[in-house]
Amino acid sequence: MNKSNPVRYLIICTGVLMLLTTSCVPFSKIKYFNDINQLSEPVVNPMSSIKISPFDRLRVLVLSTDKETSAILNYSSGQNVTTGPAISYVVDATGFITFPYAGKIQVGGLTLVEAGEVISTSLKNIITNPEVFVTLVDPKITLIGEVFSQGSFPMSKEFLSIYEAVALGGGLTQFADRKNIILLRNENNKLTHYILNLNNSKITSSPLYYILPNDVIIIEPIRNKSWNMQSSTWMTVLSAISSLLSIYYMTSFTLRY
Q: Which domains does the chain have, with CATH numbers?
A: 57-136 (3.30.1950.10), 139-223 (3.10.560.10)
What CA–CA distance (Å, rounded) separates 218 from 224?
A: 18
Q: What is the DSSP letter of 65?
A: S
Given this model, what pLDDT does residue 35 score?
A: 60
pTM listed for this prediction: 0.69
Given this model, what pLDDT does residue 47 score?
A: 73
Given this model, what pLDDT does residue 59 score?
A: 92
CB 177 within 8 Å of CB 146: yes
Alpha helix segments (H runs only) across the chain: 5-21, 67-74, 112-123, 162-168, 223-256
pLDDT digits (tens, 9 = 90+) for 141-191: 999 999 999 999 999 888 899 999 999 999 999 899 999 999 999 887 788
CB 59 within 8 Å of CB 91: no
What CA–CA distance (Å, rounded) separates 96 from 111?
A: 14
Given this model, what pLDDT does residue 76 score?
A: 47
* Low-confidence residues of the chain: pLDDT under 50: 1, 3, 76-84, 226, 229
Q: What is the DSSP letter of 102?
A: T
What does residue 32 show for φ and ψ, rounded to 5 degrees?
A: -100, 150
Given this model, what pLDDT does residue 234 score?
A: 56
Given this model, what pLDDT does residue 158 score?
A: 84
Given this model, what pLDDT does residue 236 score?
A: 66
